[in-house]
Structure 1
Amino acid sequence: MANKEMSVAELREKHMAAAETVNSLRERLRQKRLILLDTDVAGYARAQGRSAVTFGPTDLVCCRTLQGHTGKVYSLDWTPERNRIVSASQDGRLIIWNALTSQKTHAIKLPCAWVMTCAFSPNGHSVASGGLDSVCSIFNLNSPADKDGNLPVSRMLSGHKGYVSCCQYVPEEDTHLITSSGDQTCVLWDITTGLRASVFGGEFQSGHTADVLSVSISGMNSRMFVSGSCDTTARLWDTRVASRAVHTFHGHEGDVNAVKFFPDGNRFGTGSNDGTCRLFDIRTGHQLQVYQQQHGENEASQVTSIAFSISGRLLFAGYSNGDCYVWDTLLARVVLNLGSVQNSHENRVSCLGLSADGSALCTGSWDTNLKIWAFGGHRTVI
């Protein structure tokens, strides 16, 4: 018995020593990378004489407020044809909106009211949602309503052991989607069969070590996706190699709440509880830029959600204090704060998304409303 106790103690000691070695090597690697990165995107752009985007309060104006939810709005998504939006709320409903008229076309009562995420299918005929029931539910918008007027669930994707935090359909595929979960994994689902095609993370050492909060699939290569987690990292995955992440990206000092691929597919952005957004390169693994608020003595507001403009020149970031910054990604400057203009939200901006053609931004908030912001005046879509 004494020998067993000794062996356990020895194993624990060896494990602690190995963990210290790993942390030491990781810090040395971080320092080496800092030496190699003698500049960032903004520093290089300034050295090249590039000027910031000029952006005024009339260049992005609130043209519609979508009212109908009775609880906090947690998630939203646009259809590819840009004229419809789905939103998910604490009131336990998904609402499908006509973005051009503000009319509601569907109000779907969810089997579990604790919803956290929603997404439109590429063809716009279905929506997916997930939340604290650990299930991703699919609704066919063309299905007839039941006798109580509710839209039935057409497919339930069950398999996660924790809440479903985010879901996204694979671009141009209505039969596959990827979910992230509080069980530290992401899953690629075959909606036709309702089965898991691949699981990313979990028992594998290269997976996340805490809740996964967000995913983004590359628009240039749908086999690649990134995930953000409470373990402060973002990870790049290839759906053909589920056993280990292609790369792990360090830098944040808080939960990574949002990830979004850059339009060219070679970079991606992140938003975190540490109050910063960051830009990473998937080819080199390097951090290219930090987007940080100037916030005096007050603690930085958490970044809840991000989106890029069509060209990637603008980064839209929603914050827990109700701000919504428009960043110039090249020079890392805030060119507009939608939280300070007329008709802004009165609470946390919890989600946002750009229409497929880049002509409008939609923001959702804990104030129960969604707002559509249109590029106005002489401004063309950037």
Structure 2
Amino acid sequence: MFRRPHYYYQLCYTTTTTTSSSSLLLLFPSRFFRSLPLQDSKRNHNGERKMSVAELKERHLAATDTVNSLRERLRQKRLLLLDTDVASYARAQGKTPVSFGPTDLVCCRTLQGHTGKVYSLDWTPERNRIVSASQDGRLIVWNALTSQKTYAIKLPCAWVMTCAFSPTGQSVACGGLDSVCSIFNLNSPTDKEGNLPVSKMLSGHKGYVSSCQYVPDEDTHLITSSGDQTCILWDITTGLRTSVFGGEFQSGHTADVLSVSISGSNSRMFVSGSCDTTARLWDTRVASRAVRTFHGHEGDVNSVKFFPDGNRFGTGSDDGTCRLFDIRTGHQLQVYYQQNANNEVPHVTSIAFSISGRLLFAGYSNGRCYVWDTLLAEVVLDLGSLQNSHEERISCLGLSADGSALCTGSYDTNLKAGDNMVKSNVWLPRVWMPD
């Protein structure tokens, strides 16, 4: 079965009926199964033979072997097409990795206030505010300069998974296991209990809302991803769906969609990452099919993020790797992977690029945060090794719009924020999210 958030099973395990075997068998034509030997089995009332449990297991194993064989052949074929990668070319040109001095990084602030795991965060464009979503059932809007809370919004559904600021910073959106994306206008008056009311509820998904992002420079349109295997473009003014990406269309995702990222250079293009191990590029003008499908990962794609130039994007996956893809050629450009000394493979939970694109920040399930040199595919700094770093899984991270500050959120209920400095034409975090 494709992965869903762990607390999804805590709430919904009694209603889960779909099995991975049944969904997998649908991928094969009937002639494939007719070629397999049948054992003696009972017949139904129409005289047709019913398959026994043993036969079903046998066919499932045969189908799984075929899928794994095809997957390996595809992987080998892609490797043949990649005659080099970015790091190999850069080293051949004599490039050297970014370096950090002992005073380049200083921990600034720890934002404390949540009482549950932090699942998502986002910055305002002007860089002075952060919104965070937590399992405690609240959205908190923070003053990033003073660490003070400006809003603590009680949510209609406590099981929130994502949040986002609008481009103007006047509203915030969030979604989770209620399958609804809720919009809050920060300028609205509070109710009698002091809570900020929901200004709009975007209903249409048939599964949990895993990610949301406003269309750049537009407070009126938003894209969400969901466990129902689709992404939706919303008109917030009317509360209606403008387009649905995936679903019944064959080029759509075949499992939960976990993340979306909209291109900053072309707001009509966005990329999605899914539990089906792929990332897909979409054009909002053509919802019926994905522009491209990108393969390479061997686990759920938890995070996707466009490169600053809009021609590439990065991914982070449960397989422990980050990858860089080119949307024009459809090829993988680089893999970012570092195995731990104990041979553990922590999941990549969230990624972000520096303004120049030279640095890739990646958060991991073991509480580490690596800063990768995207050109040489080397870890130039491990933020998890610094004093006051997070104690648990890093669930989210984000860079401010001007690239001068970084913030991370963790299951330890805290957020860490820090200011940056410019060095060698690369934005470097002068502080960071440490605990």
Q: Which residue of 2 aligns with 1:204?
A: 249
Q: Which residue of 2 aligns with 1:12?
A: none
Residue 38 of structure 1 pairs with residue 83 of structure 2? yes
Residue 191 of structure 1 pairs with residue 191 of structure 2? no
Instruction: Tell me how far 1:375 sits from its aligned partner.
Output: 2.1
- Could you list the runs of 5+ residues in structure 1 that have no partner in the other structure? 9-15
Residue type of the alignment partner of 1:156 = M
| Whole-angstrom CA distance in 1 between matches of 2:95 and 2:68 | 39
Match of 1:164 among 176, 191, 209: 209
| Whole-angstrom CA distance in 2 between matches of 1:241 and 1:4 | 47
Residue type of the alignment partner of 2:380 = V
Contact 1:125 1:140 in 2 (8 A): yes
Q: Which residue of 2 aligns with 1:67?
A: 112
Residue 255 of structure 1 pairs with residue 300 of structure 2? yes
CA change 1:324–1:167 in 2 (3 A) is: same
| Whole-angstrom CA distance in 2 between matches of 1:111 and 1:294 | 41
CA change 1:156–1:229 in 2 (3 A) is: same
Task: Tell me the secondary structure at the aligned position of residue 107 of structure 2.
Answer: strand
Task: Tell me the secondary structure at the aligned position of residue 371 of structure 1.
Answer: strand
Contact 2:305 2:315 in 1 (8 A): yes
Q: Which residue of 2 aligns with 1:365?
A: 410
Match of 1:231 among 276, 288, 300: 276
Match of 1:300 among 330, 337, 345: 345
Match of 2:149 among 96, 104, 118: 104
Task: Tell me the secondary structure at the aligned position of residue 106 of structure 2.
Answer: strand
CA change 1:21–1:339 in 2 (3 A) is: closer
Instruction: Tell me how far 1:376 sits from its aligned partner.
Output: 5.0
Match of 1:84 among 104, 122, 129: 129
| Whole-angstrom CA distance in 1 between matches of 2:169 and 2:247 | 32
| Whole-angstrom CA distance in 2 between matches of 1:198 and 1:19 | 34
| Whole-angstrom CA distance in 2 between matches of 1:98 and 1:292 | 35
Instruction: Tell me how far 1:31 sits from its aligned partner.
Output: 2.8
Deviations 1:9-62 (A, max 9, x none): xxxxxxx99999888766545433311211111011011110000123432322
CA change 1:364–1:380 in 2 (3 A) is: farther
TM-score (norm 2): 0.82
| Whole-angstrom CA distance in 2 between matches of 1:18 and 1:275 | 27
CA change 1:159–1:44 in 2 (3 A) is: same
Contact 2:403 2:420 in 1 (8 A): no
Residue type of the alignment partner of 1:120 = F
| Whole-angstrom CA distance in 1 between matches of 2:127 and 2:144 | 8
Q: Which residue of 1 aligns with 2:38?
A: none
Contact 2:404 2:421 in 1 (8 A): no
Instruction: Tell me how far 1:3 sits from its aligned partner.
Output: 9.1
RMSD: 2.5
Contact 2:349 2:394 in 1 (8 A): yes
Contact 1:256 1:272 in 2 (8 A): yes
Where does structure 1 differ by over 4 angstroms across 4 or more consecutive aligned residues? Answer: 1-6, 16-29, 376-381
CA change 1:239–1:359 in 2 (3 A) is: same
| Whole-angstrom CA distance in 1 between matches of 2:426 and 2:169 | 24
Residue 131 of structure 1 pairs with residue 176 of structure 2? yes
Deviations 1:163-214 (A, max 9, x none): 0000000000110000000001000000011011000111111111111000
TM-score (norm 1): 0.93
CA change 1:191–1:46 in 2 (3 A) is: same
| Whole-angstrom CA distance in 2 between matches of 1:115 and 1:59 | 35
| Whole-angstrom CA distance in 2 between matches of 1:321 and 1:365 | 10
Task: Tell me the secondary structure at the aligned position of residue 91 of structure 2.
Answer: helix
Equivalent residue runs for 1:325-340 within 5 Å = 325-340=370-385
| Whole-angstrom CA distance in 1 between matches of 2:47 and 2:407 | 61
Residue 48 of structure 1 pairs with residue 93 of structure 2? yes
| Whole-angstrom CA distance in 1 between matches of 2:276 and 2:419 | 36
| Whole-angstrom CA distance in 2 between matches of 1:277 and 1:316 | 10
Contact 2:358 2:426 in 1 (8 A): no
Q: Which residue of 1 aligns with 2:362?
A: 317
| Whole-angstrom CA distance in 2 between matches of 1:347 and 1:275 | 17
Larger Rg: 2
Task: Tell me the secondary structure at the aligned position of residue 60 of structure 1.
Answer: coil
CA change 1:290–1:194 in 2 (3 A) is: same
| Whole-angstrom CA distance in 2 between matches of 1:2 and 1:368 | 58
Contact 1:64 1:371 in 2 (8 A): yes
| Whole-angstrom CA distance in 1 between matches of 2:376 and 2:357 | 12
Deviations 1:44-83 (A, max 9, x none): 1011110000123432322111111111110000001111
Instruction: Tell me how far 1:142 sits from its aligned partner.
Output: 0.1
